[in-house]
A and B are shown apart, each in its own frame.
Chain A
Amino acid sequence: MDIQGLFDLVKREFGDGGIELLADRPQPGLQVAREKIVDLSRFLKETPELRFEMLTSLAGLDLPEGVLRTSYHLYSFKLDLLLPLHVDVTREDPKTPTISGVWPSADWYERESWDLVGIVYEGHPDLRRIMLPEDWEGHPLRKDFVEKESYHGIPTQREREWLSWQK
């Protein structure tokens, strides 16, 4: 089954709104509205013809014009098909439903995405920072991230630290 066939199957199940096929990309995928992502994931995982058993990657992105995107990559062993899904949210309302109920691997990936990009995954069992310390402020992978000058007394700017020794 190729991506067009897959998309037809999905459309039959979910109707028209919310899911678009991005067919002209080098790696064709689906652009999904955030309300549909959980149901779509469950459908893709459990339908016997599709069986997307592995969530192989989940990345949070900070795109221009205030768009925050979560890119999911699903893999089906049965179809040998790698399927990207993209869910876009805005900076003002960065909430996306969690899919950790469908694939447990999403648990840590979503924590990383929250930590570094700042997308809030609703319904996540334990959404806290994973890479950075618990009391870090800011989401570093955003394009407009500016580091604080010091963290618990440790300066973050090299020149400043060097200069302070000079005195």
Chain B
Amino acid sequence: MAEVKTDLMTLNMGPVHPSTHGVIRFVLQTDGEIIHRCVPDIGYLHRSIEKIAENLEYYQFMPFTDRVDYVAAINANLGWAVAVERFGGIEVPERGEWLRIISAELVRIGSHLVAVGSNSGDMGAVTPFLHALREREVTNDLIEELCGARLTHNYIRIGGVSFDAPTGWIDKCKRFLDNFEPALDEFDRLLTFNKIFRHRLGNVAVITERDAKDFGLVGPNLRGSGVRWDCRKDDTYGLYPEMKFEVPVGEGLMGTVGDCWDRFWLRIQEMRQSVHIIRQALDRLEAATGSVWNEKRVIKLPEGEYYVRTESARGEMGYYIVSDGGKLPVRVKIRTGSFSAMSIIEKLARGVMIADLVAIIASLDIVAPEIDR
């Protein structure tokens, strides 16, 4: 029988697609279901935020950091504020620090809920997505009471936070946390240990520790491969040293260490740790008094280059500021976790099926604004 001449099919998983998390495009070369090559194409959401930073003073740039990662905006705000304060020599009052920690962890919970929910929605289980969003609504409401916005918060200021917690807010937070932990357990029962789910995600796209470090992965992607490294503990900032929490790492419970299931499970564990942190911070907030913002009208960083890292929902977010001593920065570079995660997809996607590619993108928790800035 003669050899049947077959060709590779070029598919375009275009910028508009139900399961790419934002506007990113993949050009796939497949042989039926198996992918031979997957080339990501980014830049659809490039808003030149780094160029804009060169024309704005340090405190004016804060709303733009929201847009760098609009799913977890307070974490991006916090990174910028910590970067400027550390080398600008600006102190933050204690109450401001506690509010920073609480709001950052609440937003981290919200972001992980979206990540976990959309991961399950991409796998076909739509219900946990809606349950996750139901919980996220409560965090959105809490943050809205605090700063007025649900998505692009612009809450952190250089030298503190913008608004103090209204009366009754702390109790609302505590009530949310009490309701949230059973909801996470329900999520686990419904989805995490479901056999079909385990088979979809287990042993898919295993990222070894060496690959993770080589490609610059950070955050849950790095911890999923077994590297116990968290900016809040290892390159700490604010009052995080006073918080007691653990850093979970992927253990390969349902497959190999570093597969998609590990990253999924890891995000759920991180949510539990965030709840723990918020509880401690709420108690400390009740005891702290004073203002929340040490306002400085003129902020100048001394001449030089500074690279400061904080732990955002998607991993280490680094702000590299080059200053010439004046009021405007010379260059701001924002290092995000999603950019590195995108760069490893080409390597991971060789030889997997299209359905697995969706699992990979979902488990790496990629948001488009972080990639393109």
A and B touch in the complex (CB under 8 A): yes
Q: Mark A1-42, 1 if CB is under 8 A from B, else 0.
A: 000000000000000000000000111010000000000000
A62 contacts B331, C-beta separation under 8 Å: yes
Known: A25-B305, A107-B343, A108-B343. Is A55-B331 also a contact (CB below 8 A)? Answer: no
Contacts of B305 in A (CB 8 A): 25, 27, 29, 71, 84, 86
Q: How far is the CA of A73 from the CA of B316 in the complex (A)?
A: 13
Q: How far is the CA of A45 from the CA of B132 in the complex (A)?
A: 41
Cβ-neighbour of B320 out of A57, A116, A131, A133 (below 8 A): A57
Q: How many residues of A contact B (CB 8 A)?
A: 33
Q: Mark A130-146, 1 if CB is under 8 A from B, else 0.
A: 11110000001100000
B216 interface hit (Cβ, 8 Å): yes
Contacts of B350 in A (CB 8 A): none
B6 interface hit (Cβ, 8 Å): no
Known: A71-B320, A103-B216, A108-B343. Is A57-B307 also a contact (CB below 8 A)? Answer: yes
Instruction: Say how far B12's CB is from chain A's closest CB, in angstroms.
Output: 16
The tally of CB-CB contacts under 8 A between chains A and B is: 87
Instruction: Say how far B256's CB is from chain A's closest CB, in angstroms.
Output: 20
Tell me the chain B residues, 202-241 only, with Cβ under 8 Å from chain A: 213-216, 218, 227, 229, 234-235
B198 interface hit (Cβ, 8 Å): no
Contacts of A55 in B (CB 8 A): 216
B325 interface hit (Cβ, 8 Å): no
B306 interface hit (Cβ, 8 Å): yes
Q: How far is the CA of A71 from the CA of B340 in the complex (A)?
A: 17
A127 interface hit (Cβ, 8 Å): no
Instruction: Say how far A114's CB is from chain B's closest CB, in angstroms.
Output: 13
Q: Using CB atoms and an 8 Å cutoff, list the residues of chain A in contact with chain B.
A: 25-27, 29, 53-57, 59, 61-63, 71, 73, 77, 80, 82, 84, 86, 103-105, 107-108, 116, 129-133, 140-141
